[in-house]
A = this chain, B = another copy of it.
Amino acid sequence: MGDAALTASLNDIALRAGVSVKTASGALHGGSARMSDATRQRILEIAGELGYVTNFAARSMRQGWMPLIGVISDELITSRFATEIIRGLDGAARAAEMAVFAVTLGNRRDVTKTLGEIRQFRPRAIAYAAMYHKKVTLPPSAADAIAVMINCQDDAGLIPSLVPDEEGAAIEITRHLLENGRRAIAFINLPGLLAGALREKGFRRALVDAGMDGEAAPVLPAVRQTIYSDRAQSLVSAHVAALLDSSSPPDAILCGNDRVAMEVYAALRRAGRSIPEDVAVASFDNQVDIATRLDPPLTTMALPHRAMGRMAANILLSAEPPPVEVHRLPFQLVERSSV
């Protein structure tokens, strides 16, 4: 195994180099120690020979913290979304010589307990990340341990939050469809989610801004019951068929996410409609696996997960506690050929 017992310490190096521990420390970690270049070189060489690896645990005893950013994730850390957030965090943290340490809330969803677990490692700061954009109610004790919320909003309003600008994204993509000459846009939305509600608002707002009747535009749920449950029954096929049969069939369908779009593609194809000639399709997510492999490739609004991660790291690493506010980060329009 790794055999931690074999790793050399500064003391071993100092002994071998005939200097004090402090001098060895200074040479290797650039402390305030002054020494001749010859001494420094010798120490570096010996450290190399001995395979010296800094012991962060020992360092942290003086520093008070480990060079870690802790992240608590409310669902499995391993979801496609959470991972993009981690990527953003990791990139920014790495620049500050920090590592990201992610733990998932256990089955019991006990934030206080999970917070205790992660604090045993003495991270420099802790973030809370949600899998889907939502409001979160944290126990009171969490408010002063968690420095920033990612992809969710603290219900109590005590913690700075980073969330996607759902409404703005809906406005942008709707406008994009309008600019491409589409006039009858239907929206097959994700029901029961905060994101869905905000996007519907933006969708209608963009229509109104274009001088159209915002209330008349159809907004339909993609599934019965909550989404992301395996048992959720898809309504997409039925909706598409009904829309095409109606008196005013749509010339564009906006989808709640790329998987919904995938089903819309299948339904349109069954009905003999071609994309984008007969009906344009656009959605939210930019799930690359799906969006690029659909035929034609899908135009979609990419979620700012990575940007949220990056920004979170900057907030977490800044010396000053950040002002408590809600940052809404913009989506990015990824144009392919379904519009």
Residue from the list B76, B116, B122 in contact with A4, Cβ < 8 A: B122
Neighbour of A259 across the interface among B79, B104, B120, B293, CB < 8 A: B293
Are A125 and B1 touching (Cβ within 8 A)? Answer: yes
Which of B87, B144, B290 is close to A76, meaning CB atoms less than 8 Å apart? B87
Contact B4 A56 (CB under 8 A): no
Q: Are A266 and B287 in contact (CB under 8 A)?
A: no
The reply to whether A124 and B266 contact each other, CB–CB distance below 8 Å, is no
Q: Interface 1/0s, chain A 294-307, versus B by CB < 8 A?
A: 01000000000000
State whether the Cβ of A41 lies closer than 8 Å to any Cβ in chain B: no
Q: Given the complex, which residues of B lie within 8 Å of A177, measured CB to CB?
A: none
- Tell me, rounded to whole Å, the shortest Cβ–Cβ distance linking A187 to chain B: 19
- The stretch from A60-68, A247-255, A323-331 touching chain B is A60-68
The count of identical subunits is 2
Residues on B with C-beta less than 8 A from A4 are 64-65, 122
The closest CB in chain B to the CB of A237 belongs to B295
Give the 9 A-B CB pairs with smallest separation, nearest first.
A78-B83, A57-B57, A57-B60, A4-B64, A53-B119, A56-B120, A4-B65, A54-B120, A1-B125
- Contacts beyond the supplied A2-B147, A56-B120, A263-B293: 13 A-B pairs with Cβ under 8 Å: A1-B321, A3-B144, A53-B119, A66-B121, A77-B83, A77-B86, A78-B84, A78-B87, A94-B106, A101-B101, A230-B292, A262-B290, A287-B289
* A-B pairs with beta carbons under 8 Å apart, 14 shown: A1-B147, A1-B316, A2-B65, A2-B144, A4-B64, A53-B120, A56-B121, A57-B58, A57-B66, A76-B83, A80-B80, A83-B83, A263-B295, A266-B269
Using CB atoms and an 8 Å cutoff, list the residues of chain A in contact with chain B: 1-5, 7, 51, 53-58, 60-61, 64-66, 76-80, 83-84, 86-87, 90, 94, 99, 101-104, 106, 116-117, 119-126, 141, 144-145, 147, 230, 234, 259, 262-263, 266, 269, 287, 289-290, 292-293, 295, 316, 321
